[in-house]
Amino acid sequence: MTDTLETTETNRLIASDKVEGTAVYNPEGDRLGTIANVMIDKRSGKSEYAVMEGSSP
């Protein structure tokens, strides 16, 4: 077993900096924008929602 801490990605986890900047599309395939932030509940540690930056038409 390794003693190093995964800092970017594991089978279950992904670092927020790998999610931020990810493109968001609607069901028709139109690009809506990108993920700007992921909001995390301080008590549970779970992500609650993502903030999206819109794209210009």
Residue 31 maps to which CATH number? 2.30.30.240
For the segment 16-30, the average pLDDT, to the nearest whole number, is 93
pLDDT bin (cut points 50, 70, 90) of residue 4 is low
pLDDT of residue 7: 66
The residue range of the domain holding 8 is 1-57
Task: Return d(Cα 51, Cα 43) in angstroms, integer.
Answer: 19
CA distances from 15 to 12, 19, 31 (A): 10, 7, 23
Q: What mean pLDDT do residues 29-46 have?
A: 94
Instruction: Please give the pLDDT value at position 16.
Output: 85
**Model pTM score:** 0.69
For the chain, the domain total comes to 1
DSSP state of 13: -
